Structure 1
Amino acid sequence: MDSLEITIRTTGGVAKYPAKAHARRVAEKTGLSEGIIGMQGTNTRFFSNSDQPQPFRQDRYFYYMSGCDEPSCFLVYDIGKDILTLYLPPVDYTRFYYDGRGSTIDEAMEKYDIDRAAYQVSARTWWSFQKKFVLPGTKVLAADGPSVDDILRRALDACRSVKDADEIELIRKANQISSIAHKDVLLQLHNCKSEAEAEAIYMRTCIARRAKAQAYGPIFGAGSNASQLHYIENVASFGDSQLLLVDAGCEWQRYASDVTRTIPINRKNPGEWPSKEAKQVYDAVEEIQEKCIKLMRVGTKFSFVALTAQHLAVDALLSLGILKGTHDEIWKAETNRAFFPHGLGHHLGLEVHDVSPPLRLLSQEQERKESQKQERWWRRQQRKQQKHEFIPPFDWGDHGRPYHARRRRTNLLTHISVPGEPAMEEGNVITIEPGLYFNEVVLRKFFLSKDKQRKHIDADVLKRFMPVGGVRIEDDILITSEGPVNLTTAPKGKEMLEILRKQG
């Protein structure tokens, strides 16, 4: 066996990312008392046909178990001995002038919550290390590559979906910076004439506060651009746009925020809605979000909240006169997909679309029975709701419209309502982001061109709402035993309008 230089950790030092606690949690979730967990981090990569490196982004599973944000590392956690070892690449002295260097062993022991550190010698990768140094017969779990089964991934997802106190503070900090940046856009919007200028204000605030990394490509969509969910060009002039949709969230120490605000553009009367239709759509989306946030409680399934949002959207579109017919007819035809085409939210953490807790494993017979039970319950509730308000109590229990994991024919609007879906629990952080959109191409090509859909859409009323473009409002919600906690403080609603009035 090739020799490895190893240093044993001493106590003390500065506060560190709790990698060892995470490793123990993951090991406990595997149900194993002995064995080895191995993970390889991300290597440095170059763009195709170029000498320019791609921006480095550490594998998030690896980071969760190591707290290490350096390239070309791998880790080994011995479950039985409770020893977490980080393997560092050899120091390349020829690159000092260009790239600096990675951590030495002593520096790694100071920075990371690990038990041992070692340089990679001939063990250049985790897989070659496994062949060379892991005893035959030892149970090995790996997050990627030829692992024995999916035990480790399920354990990692179960742990990552429930944030500890350190993770919550990092997400809160990311939200704080993003919220300040969103507010700065409001404060200076009167000086802006384009999406690019507004984005520059947001980015300047984030970078000045040392949050240079964005959790995703910022979206600054004015007018019809707001109807494109992942619009990222951010270069158009405001022109006669009524609204600016801003979907942007920074990272703080690898943890994401995800914040969306929709802002009225009104140069003559700042802080006032440019049209009655813009106000009506905004008010509808705001009401949907407020009602859904109240439902974000321990023991409730998120799919039920997502389902409620879709029914509230149907009610809102009927109230606005955009849709016509009965609630049940529209729901069956799925016409509301024209205006609310996405899910209500997602988990948030080391990824902006973070991992979800693993599903309970059900047999086909269990899945069939659960689906039938949910369908019967849902139909009973529909009959009781004469006004179709669809505001469920907090004790919905194990009910909800079925959405099968095997992608059978079903109503896609329920987002994640799958048999085996676990209920929300304390420590989950989940976004709530309802929206209503008026995308001319989508409406014309996929809805107004089909009799099944067209008969439920009032084309004359719709024409008045098309200039609105789109409205989305998004906050990051922490699930606690005391109820939902909104981590996002970016101004919205009346507070947003008041800021715009004062600056105008």
Structure 2
Amino acid sequence: MEAVDAILAGQYPAKEHAKRVVEYIKKTHPDASGVLYLEGQKTCMIEDNDEAAPFRQRRYFYYLTGCDLPDAYFTYDIASGKSTLFIPPIDAESVIWSGLPVSPSEALELYDVDHVQTADTVASYLAKPSQGTVYAINNQVSDHITFLQFASTDLMLLKEAIEECRVIKDAYEIGLIKKANLISTIAHTAVLKAVKHAKNERELEGVFIEKCIANEAREQAYHSIVASGTAAATLHYQKNYQNLEGKLNLLLDAGGEYKMYASDITRTFPISGRFSTESRLLYDIVMKMQVDTIAMLKAGVVWDDVHLTAHKIAIDCLLALGILSGDKNEILKARTSVAFFPHGLGHYLGMDTHDTGGHPDYEDKDTMFRYLRVRGKLPAGSIITVEPGIYFCRFIIEPYLKDPAHSKFINVDVLDKYWEVGGVRIEDNVLITDDGHENLTTAVKDVDEMLALINST
């Protein structure tokens, strides 16, 4: 934690991000000139209410500013390389309720920008004649803003440039994600220690969130999945209020967010402190899928191939259990394993849980790759989740049992022993390096260590 904190003692590298974005733009527009223009998220009132909705900064804006203030604006002059942040001026009525806002001088110290002005000057700033192009994001430009003084307007390229640049993280961003993982590990550990005595899923969600908030991660990267028993077969389970009595396992997919950057961690473990025979067999399969696919990771590896390897391992192991039968190559060709492992092996991670730049193809006719959120080669500096899983969801599997092309490979008598397992998923966050990888997730997943924590109280 100390090494991470030392990195994060510096400033969010917004200027460097802006330079990278301009470099990307100049790959297709070598003579690009003018201004990058972005708006932060606006304060939004809850409908039929006098309270503001919870604020979530636009990630495109944050990437170039490091600024988490609402109602802010940003410009970056391509020729000079100078950035200007526009923040809300003092509103006396607001000060009564919320206190003094950040001042321009304070903002200049806080954020990696060259100039700070108040937001009421942004329109006049943009009114200066320019022979260049203003690069902005479509549908993220306020009505009172005009670009009439610019020679041209591009509302497409800036978003693409930021999305692609976000894929490769710098040391500061990696530090933020490491910190989010360290905090989430504390929370995952607390749930392990609490699960044996909890009565309801919501108690465990409460334990996780409390530990995150207490350790500097006030926001969650996403709504936690706290799925007990057969609910673990629902990939994005949302209820989190079912009783735990009589259930075999708990699947906890939860991650805290630290200063806009996400963690995304899944662990599956027995509620009683002891795996059933079937649950342990499935856990070992998923662990092998994860260990073997993580071992493949380095810069330049094709993620589609890593995902395919996970399916091949799943097929081999399900054949060994007797759930599948027949020729493994025919099973792979038929895509029967998709019935048990229907989602992609992972996704990029950054400011968003499902981060940008993955180029998925949700129209892919191949069911094995349709939901793969990342396609192609992984670059050094990217962070990707590795989250294999095996699930026993009746809604998904039963159509396969009715289809002769698949049913000939599935042994129903053996399958019937596994429905109560629900599902097993194990997920870590992995940094891709030039010659390998670094697993940023330290939450316990070794069976003996997990069981020791569960049975320690």
Scaled by the length of structure 1, the TM-score of the pair is: 0.81
Match status 1:18 vs 2:13: yes
Aligned-residue offset at 1:15:
3.1
Matches within 5 A, 1:390-469: 405=361, 407=363, 409-413=365-369, 415-416=371-372, 422-444=376-398, 446-469=399-422
Which of the numbers 241, 255, 258 marks the counterpart of 1:252?
258
Aligned-residue offset at 1:101:
4.3
Q: In the alignment, what sits opposite 1:476?
A: 429
Structure 2 Cα separation of the partners of residues 150 and 304 of structure 1: 31
Which stretch has the larger CA shift, 255-264 or 48-57?
Answer: 48-57
**Per-residue Cα deviation, 1:431-457 (whole angstroms, up to 9, x for no partner):** 00000111123323x322333332322
Amino acid at match of 1:98: W
- Residues 497 and 118 of structure 1: is their aligned pair in 2 closer, same or farther, counting only changes over 3 Å? closer
Matches within 5 A, 1:222-261: 222-261=228-267
Amino acid at match of 1:167: E
Q: In the alignment, what sits opposite 1:119?
A: 118
Q: Secondary structure at the match of 1:503?
A: coil
Which of the numbers 170, 177, 186 marks the counterpart of 1:180?
186
Q: Secondary structure at the match of 2:182?
A: helix
Amino acid at match of 1:141: Y
Structure 2 Cα separation of the partners of residues 53 and 110 of structure 1: 27
**Per-residue Cα deviation, 1:366-395 (whole angstroms, up to 9, x for no partner):** xxxxxxxxxxxxxxxxxxxxxxxxxxxxxx
The answer to whether the Cα contact below 8 Å between 2:304 and 2:376 also exists between their aligned partners in 1 is no
Aligned-residue offset at 1:98:
2.2
Which of the numbers 114, 122, 139 marks the counterpart of 2:133?
139
Which stretch has the larger CA shift, 244-253 or 38-47?
Answer: 38-47
Q: In the alignment, what sits opposite 1:102?
A: 101
Structure 1 Cα separation of the partners of residues 368 and 404 of structure 2: 20
Structure 2 Cα separation of the partners of residues 117 and 101 of structure 1: 17
Aligned-residue offset at 1:409:
3.1
The answer to whether the Cα contact below 8 Å between 2:346 and 2:373 also exists between their aligned partners in 1 is no
Q: Secondary structure at the match of 2:89?
A: coil
4+ residue segments displaced more than 4 Å: 414-418
Long gaps (5+) in structure 2: 1-8, 142-152
Q: In the alignment, what sits opposite 1:93?
A: 92
Q: In the alignment, what sits opposite 1:375?
A: none
Amino acid at match of 1:238: L
The answer to whether the Cα contact below 8 Å between 2:345 and 2:372 also exists between their aligned partners in 1 is no
Structure 2 Cα separation of the partners of residues 19 and 500 of structure 1: 41
**Per-residue Cα deviation, 1:252-285 (whole angstroms, up to 9, x for no partner):** 111100000001122xxx3x31x21101100000
Aligned-residue offset at 1:41:
0.9
Aligned-residue offset at 1:307:
1.5
Structure 2 Cα separation of the partners of residues 457 and 44 of structure 1: 54
Q: In the alignment, what sits opposite 1:391?
A: none
Matches within 5 A, 1:332-351: 332-351=333-352
Amino acid at match of 2:377: A
Amino acid at match of 2:131: G
Higher relative contact order (CA 8 A, sep 6+): 1
- Residues 408 and 236 of structure 1: is their aligned pair in 2 closer, same or farther, counting only changes over 3 Å? closer
Structure 2 Cα separation of the partners of residues 94 and 448 of structure 1: 65
The answer to whether the Cα contact below 8 Å between 2:196 and 2:454 also exists between their aligned partners in 1 is no
The answer to whether the Cα contact below 8 Å between 1:187 and 1:499 also exists between their aligned partners in 2 is no
Matches within 5 A, 1:43-58: 43-58=42-57
Aligned-residue offset at 1:417:
9.2
Aligned-residue offset at 1:425:
2.0
Scaled by the length of structure 2, the TM-score of the pair is: 0.89
Aligned-residue offset at 1:422:
4.8
Amino acid at match of 1:457: I
- Residues 416 and 203 of structure 1: is their aligned pair in 2 closer, same or farther, counting only changes over 3 Å? closer
Q: In the alignment, what sits opposite 1:389?
A: none
Structure 1 Cα separation of the partners of residues 391 and 256 of structure 2: 25
**Per-residue Cα deviation, 1:440-487 (whole angstroms, up to 9, x for no partner):** 23323x322333332322111111000101100000001112421110
Q: Secondary structure at the match of 1:443?
A: helix
Amino acid at match of 1:493: D
Aligned-residue offset at 1:202:
1.2
Q: In the alignment, what sits opposite 2:208?
A: 202
The answer to whether the Cα contact below 8 Å between 2:34 and 2:130 also exists between their aligned partners in 1 is no
Aligned-residue offset at 1:501:
6.0
Q: Secondary structure at the match of 1:25?
A: helix
Structure 2 Cα separation of the partners of residues 134 and 290 of structure 1: 57
Long gaps (5+) in structure 1: 1-13, 360-402
- Residues 346 and 68 of structure 1: is their aligned pair in 2 closer, same or farther, counting only changes over 3 Å? same
Q: Secondary structure at the match of 1:331?
A: helix
Which stretch has the larger CA shift, 206-215 or 154-163?
Answer: 154-163
Structure 2 Cα separation of the partners of residues 475 and 162 of structure 1: 18
The answer to whether the Cα contact below 8 Å between 1:177 and 1:209 also exists between their aligned partners in 2 is yes
Amino acid at match of 1:308: T
Q: What root-mean-square deviation, in Å, do the aligned CA atoms of Structure 1 and Structure 2 show? A: 2.2
Amino acid at match of 1:80: A
Amino acid at match of 1:177: I
Aligned-residue offset at 1:498:
4.2
The answer to whether the Cα contact below 8 Å between 1:41 and 1:58 also exists between their aligned partners in 2 is yes
Q: In the alignment, what sits opposite 2:4?
A: none
Same amino acid, percent of matched pairs: 39
Q: Secondary structure at the match of 1:191?
A: coil
Structure 1 Cα separation of the partners of residues 454 and 249 of structure 2: 15
Q: Secondary structure at the match of 2:112?
A: coil
Q: In the alignment, what sits opposite 2:62?
A: 63
